[in-house]
Structure 1
Amino acid sequence: MYITEAKFQREQNNFDALRLLAAFMVFITHSYGFPIDPISRLTGGTYTLSSWGLIIFFTLSGFLVCRSISRSSLRDYFWNRFLRICPALAVCSLLMVIIPGCIFTTLPLREFLLHPGTWHFLLQNSFPVQVVFKLPGVFNERAVNVSLWTIPLEIKLYIALTSWFLVEKKALSLKKHRRITLAEELIAQPENKANQYK
């Protein structure tokens, strides 16, 4: 199925509504005041509202990222992915160090701020090939932001998509080359046969 460029315009689709629905599903599941998850109940605990919300997010992301990679150079594609993830995540990581970190750490504030684990959390999560969930002395060394688990997965999916795109592009190029070669052979065949009878 081919989708025209016009369908990507905001007024022509419901991507924002789907994103809002997905965010609401994740929010509901992560809220302690919502005791019953209807999806979990219907599926015997196999799925939750948040798992379906994540499926929606990843599906929309895949759809839009496929469009992005097909319309731009690889350099621009990777730069756009970097800008989409890293600056916001760096700010988020800094806020996690400042707000829950400084407020809830059991370490003296100066020790917390100079602790290698704090800097490791901040720097590693700003360029997240692998994320760090814990801050020293915060929440009894439990995760500060569990939702970061999706970021390395997202990066791996971007890389997988790029690999697939490059293979597909090469395959199409070879197929086009084969068609040209076949056409040349078909054109040359009558000439060769004619030369045989001379």
Structure 2
Amino acid sequence: MTQIDYFFATLSPYCYLAGTRLEEVAAKHGASINYKPFDIVAAFGRTGGTPPKDRHISRIEYRAQELVRQAKKLDMPFNLKPAHWPTNGAPAAYAFIAAQNAGGGDLGQLAHLITRAVWAEEKDIAQDDVVRACLQEAGFDPALADSGMLVGAETYARNLEEAVERGVFGAPFYFVGDQRFWGQDRIADVDAHLAGDL
């Protein structure tokens, strides 16, 4: 079975805009998805990137236009300036990792619910009640928000190291074998690659 390694960030608007399209592509081709939540801001500093707030004004302005355009194109609700961004995305990532280890729910939906909470619902994913609600809606035990913190932190840190080693510099970032795909607008390319057309 083909595996897609998916490096995603709980705070990324582009991961939110990816929705569950990757999961649809994986199901279409009988591929599995290995989710790897990681600290995108730390990755920026190690791979030549700049956090959004520190970018040149021309990049900030373009990002603002492009995010709104992409959301409209995808017919997804989107708030360019959410009330709780930036926030601490680590607790949600730890809970995701605990859910990944526990099994029993829908990880693709969970990733989407966490990012949607930030970019469409004005919720703070650093808050336990928000993370619990996401877990429950995706079919996981909400108590996972309180468990596996140490394992979550270790895995989160390990995912960052792996991301940097493998050349990840943004999110969402997808690997199919040695092929790299960066951005929610490249999911169609992942589809084409899995079909043998790219």
Which one has a bigger Cα radius of gyration? 1
Task: Please classify the TM superposition score into its range, dividing by the shorter chain length.
Answer: under 0.3
Higher relative contact order (CA 8 A, sep 6+): 2
Q: TM-score, normalised by structure 1?
A: 0.22
Structure with more helix by fraction: 1
